[in-house]
Amino acid sequence: MKVCPNCSSVMDDNAKICTQCGYQFDAAPSSSGVDLNQ
């Protein structure tokens, strides 16, 4: 389970869009740890 950072609703891990507010999880910045601003 994951929590929407916009409205705090609990979503399935495979959810791409929050069913409560429409937040798009795929639009979130990558957390790969690679700094692309070098």
Range of the domain at 15: 1-25
Please tell me whether residue 17 adopts helix, strand or coil conformation.
strand
pLDDT at position 25, please?
85
Tell me, yes or no, whether 8 lies in a domain. yes
Using one digit for the tens of pLDDT, what is the confidence trace for 16-29? 999 999 999 876 55
Tell me, yes or no, whether 16 lies in a domain. yes
In this prediction, residues 1-18 reach a mean pLDDT of 93
Tell me, yes or no, whether 35 lies in a domain. no
CA angle 9, 11, 12 (to 5 degrees): 170
Tell me, yes or no, whether 31 lies in a domain. no
pTM: 0.60
Rg over CA atoms, the chain? 12
Tell me, yes or no, whether 33 lies in a domain. no
In Å, how far from its chain's centre is CA 11? 10
- Residue of 4, 5, 6 lying closest to 15 (CA atoms): 4
Tell me, yes or no, whether 21 lies in a domain. yes
Q: What is the DSSP letter of 32?
A: S
